[in-house]
């Protein structure tokens, strides 16, 4: 396996964060790549309900048929010196886009690195955002159809805003969807194994979270990765103390987040979250388990559309008696995570880092400290098939990943003809313009009508020449159709939708080519997190 670092252009906030710029770092407690010794000292002064956490994690990971290495890591949590490295994502179909896989690889790798540096037990933990309800974000993947990118949705309909942990999976619909995907992929010696992993995990799953968790444990077997479902009722009961804190300090938390966002915007940073000072940053689950985002006005807590109306006393009673009726949003989840786990570091994508920038004072509101936020690894995978096309077309893989193939394709087409079509046509148009000047001059001297007629004549001639330009280019494209398809495939696989591969393609596209063992191999590597992107070549 060959691995090559690549420098990508990042937005202003992320670039400054990575470079430890003071204009951004004032919004965080720790620099991205600093030593974590001080953070560890802070954790050792805190108290955590380790025994209950271990019992809950064992129960849920047993249900997902986790490997033995996972349970060894869970039991290490009983050691008061142990900490976790955590990151999370929604339970996407086929794991979702490859950035989910890359985040998990980052968690495992970073945990190993810190365990070696600090000589303490560091447990890799992945937080499945099962309490989230946005089914439309996880119900699809992409395929290539007629040399174009196409979104392929699972046909199952989910009409309620119900946590994904509770959405029962329609296995018939998902099976048909998986068959459709595999029909679009080239059959290899690894196809059968990849397909069987998916179908076996599906057969034994009830919800989309179950399906996701079982696949992840299959792909990361032997890594010791621990999974947690944030939508698990058992976890809710461990969260009671923080729910009470969130109710008590809602006003201050909400105010600090809004104020910090405004401060960031004044500093020139755009943060893509909608927050207001009456936000409760909690969801209430009604009798049908539909999530309702709460707002607050003094002692009244209510849904945005008045779906529910509760007093503070009623909510406090719900926390004690039915905590499963509450769940976290994007603001309260980091606080809850810090409450539950001795978190050495949080592994995050660029979007997460941006909204975490609003949270420092929210943590302080409840006497907590924001953990170090570490940029996860960003990776593009190049299979041997892709590499052959790059070599055949003499293309630089870094340029393709960063910029796509449009410019290179046009230059390549120009080189296939002795003279550029645009040069030839532009020369002809210039010659016509010069040859027609006497007609325009004569028309101008004779009458306005004759001058207009001469100009209209030139316009018609130019339109015909422009038509010839288009037809000539089309003829060249038709002549080199096979080569152009190769450029197009590189664009789709390495720079889809003018962005990174990891945001579009699911990992089974690469497992089908190189089996799943490259995942274990990659987790055993030790990459530098200060590099903002990597290209990994799969055999």
Query: What pLDDT, in 10s, does the model give residues 436-472?
Result: 777 767 666 666 676 677 778 778 888 888 888 788 7
Predicted pLDDT at 451: 66
- Is the pLDDT reported for residue 267 higher than 90? yes
Give the SS3 label for residue 391: helix
Round to whole Å and give the CA distance between 58 and 62: 6
Question: Per-residue pLDDT for 266 more than 70?
Answer: yes
Task: For residue 324, give Cα distances in angstroms to 318, 320, 433, 495.
Answer: 9, 10, 78, 42
Q: Residue 213's closest CA among 355, 361, 110, 62?
A: 62
The whole-number pLDDT of residue 470 equals 84
238: Cβ–Cβ under 8 A, 6 or more apart, which residues? 49, 52, 53, 56, 340
pLDDT tens for residues 316-362?
999 999 999 999 999 999 999 999 999 999 999 999 999 999 999 99
Element (H, E) at 321: helix 312-321
What global pTM score does this model have? 0.90
Is the pLDDT confidence value at 418 over 60?
Answer: no
Distance CA 187, CA 167 (A): 32
Confidence of residue 435 (pLDDT cuts 50, 70, 90): confident
Q: Strand order in 122-128's β-sheet?
A: 226-229, 122-128, 83-89, 343-348, 373-375
DSSP E strand stretches across 203-299: 226-229, 279-285, 291-297
Asked if 282 and 294 count as a contact pair (C-beta separation under 8 A), the reply is: yes
Tell me: the pLDDT tens digits for 138-158? 999 999 998 899 999 999 999
Q: What is the DSSP string of 421-478?
A: HHHHHHHHHHHHHHHHHHHHHHHHHH-HHHHHHHHHHHHHHHHHHHHHHHHHHHHHHH
> Which of 324-328, 338-342, 407-411, 500-504 has the lowest average pLDDT?
407-411
- Give me the chain's average pLDDT, please: 93
Q: What is the C-alpha to C-alpha distance for residues 214 and 211, in angstroms, rounded to an integer?
A: 5
Average pLDDT score over residue span 495-511? 96
């Amino acid at each position: 396996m060959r691995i090559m670092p690549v420098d990508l252009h990042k937005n202003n906030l992320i670039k400054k964060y990575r470079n430890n710029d003071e204009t951004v770092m004032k919004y965080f407690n720790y620099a991205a790549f600093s030593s974590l010794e001080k953070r560890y000292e802070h954790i050792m002064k805190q108290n955590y309900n380790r025994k209950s956490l271990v019992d809950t994690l064992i129960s849920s990971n047993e249900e997902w048929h986790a490997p033995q290495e996972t349970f060894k890591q869970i039991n290490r949590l009983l050691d008061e010196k142990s900490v976790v490295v955590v990151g999370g994502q929604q339970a996407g179909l086929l794991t979702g886009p490859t950035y989910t896989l890359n985040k998990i690889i980052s968690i495992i790798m970073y945990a190993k690195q810190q365990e070696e540096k600090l000589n303490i037990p560091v447990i890799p933990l992945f937080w499945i955002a099962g309490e989230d309800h946005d089914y439309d974000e996880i119900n699809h993947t992409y395929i290539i159809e007629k040399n174009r990118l196409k979104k392929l949705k699972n046909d199952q309909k989910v009409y309620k805003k119900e946590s994904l942990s509770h959405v029962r999976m329609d296995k018939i619909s998902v099976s048909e969807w998986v068959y459709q995907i595999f029909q679009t992929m080239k059959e290899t010696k690894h196809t059968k194994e990849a397909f069987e992993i998916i179908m076996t995990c599906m057969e034994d799953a009830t919800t989309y979270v179950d399906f996701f968790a079982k696949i992840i444990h299959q792909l990361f077997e032997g890594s010791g990765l621990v999974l947690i479902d944030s939508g698990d009722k058992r976890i809710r009961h461990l969260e009671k103390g923080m729910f009470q804190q969130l109710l008590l300090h809602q006003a201050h938390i909400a105010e600090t987040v809004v104020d910090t966002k405004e401060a960031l915007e004044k500093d020139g940073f755009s943060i893509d979250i909608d927050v207001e000072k009456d936000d409760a940053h909690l969801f209430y689950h009604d009798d049908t388990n539909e999530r309702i985002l709460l707002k607050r006005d003094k002692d009244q807590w209510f849904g945005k559309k008045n779906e529910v109306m509760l007093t503070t006393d009623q909510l406090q009673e719900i926390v004690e008696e039915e905590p499963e009726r509450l769940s976290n949003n994007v603001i309260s989840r980091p606080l809850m995570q810090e409450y539950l786990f001795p978190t050495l570091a949080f592994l995050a994508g660029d979007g997460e880092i941006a909204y975490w920038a609003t949270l420092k004072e929210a943590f302080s509101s409840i006497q907590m400290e924001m953990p170090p936020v570490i940029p996860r690894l960003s990776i593009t995978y190049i299979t041997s098939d892709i590499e052959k096309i790059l070599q055949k077309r003499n293309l630089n893989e870094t340029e393709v990943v960063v910029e796509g193939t449009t410019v290179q394709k046009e230059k390549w087409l120009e080189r296939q003809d002795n003279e550029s079509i645009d040069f030839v046509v532009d020369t002809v148009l210039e010659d016509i313009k010069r040859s027609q000047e006497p007609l325009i001059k004569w028309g101008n001297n004779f009458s306005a009508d004759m001058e207009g007629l001469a100009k209209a004549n030139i316009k018609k001639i130019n339109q015909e020449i422009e038509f010839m330009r288009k037809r000539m280019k089309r003829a060249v494209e038709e002549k080199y159709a096979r080569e152009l398809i190769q450029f197009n495939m590189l664009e789709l696989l390495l720079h889809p939708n003018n962005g990174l591969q990891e945001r579009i393609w699911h990992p089974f596209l690469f497992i089908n080519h190189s089996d799943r063992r490259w995942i274990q191999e990659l987790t055993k590597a030790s990459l530098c997190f200060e590099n903002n992107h990597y290209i990994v070549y799969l055999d």
